[in-house]
Amino acid sequence: MVKFGALHLLIKHSESRNPVSRRTGESTATYSPEKAMEEIQQYVEKIKAEGVSKDVFAKYAQARSDCGSFKTGGDLGMFGPGEMQKQFEDGTAATQARARRR
């Protein structure tokens, strides 16, 4: 069975399946999807500016991610088919495939 690993920084919003931050316990129901995407893009730029590394990513995931993985710096560990939401699993598989082609 193929296993994947991923780092994850999630910003929940009004259309999230469960719009409650696991980091703060607060509702994100008033946060728009557009605002969440805007904020994610800011983190992408910060991470790139500081050098793309696991430590840099972990710093921002711990400070901002609404996923319970904020405690581990966004590290979701290893997972296989069917263990994550399909869209996330598909995106992770595509990212892994692109990385192997480089």
pLDDT, residue 99, reads 64
Q: How many CB atoms lie within 10 A of CB 96?
A: 13
**Beta strands 75-79 and 4-7: pairing type?**
antiparallel
Write the CATH number for 68: 3.10.50.40
What is the domain extent for residue 14?
4-101
**pTM of the full predicted structure?**
0.85
CA 62 to chain CA centroid, nearest Å: 11
How big, in percent rounded to 5, are the helix, strand and coil portions of the chain? 50, 10, 40
Predicted pLDDT of residue 97: 66
How many domains does the chain fold into?
Answer: 1
pLDDT of residue 24: 97
Collect the ranges in the chain with pLDDT lower than 70: 97-102
Helices 54-64, 33-50: inter-axial angle, 10-degree rounding = 150
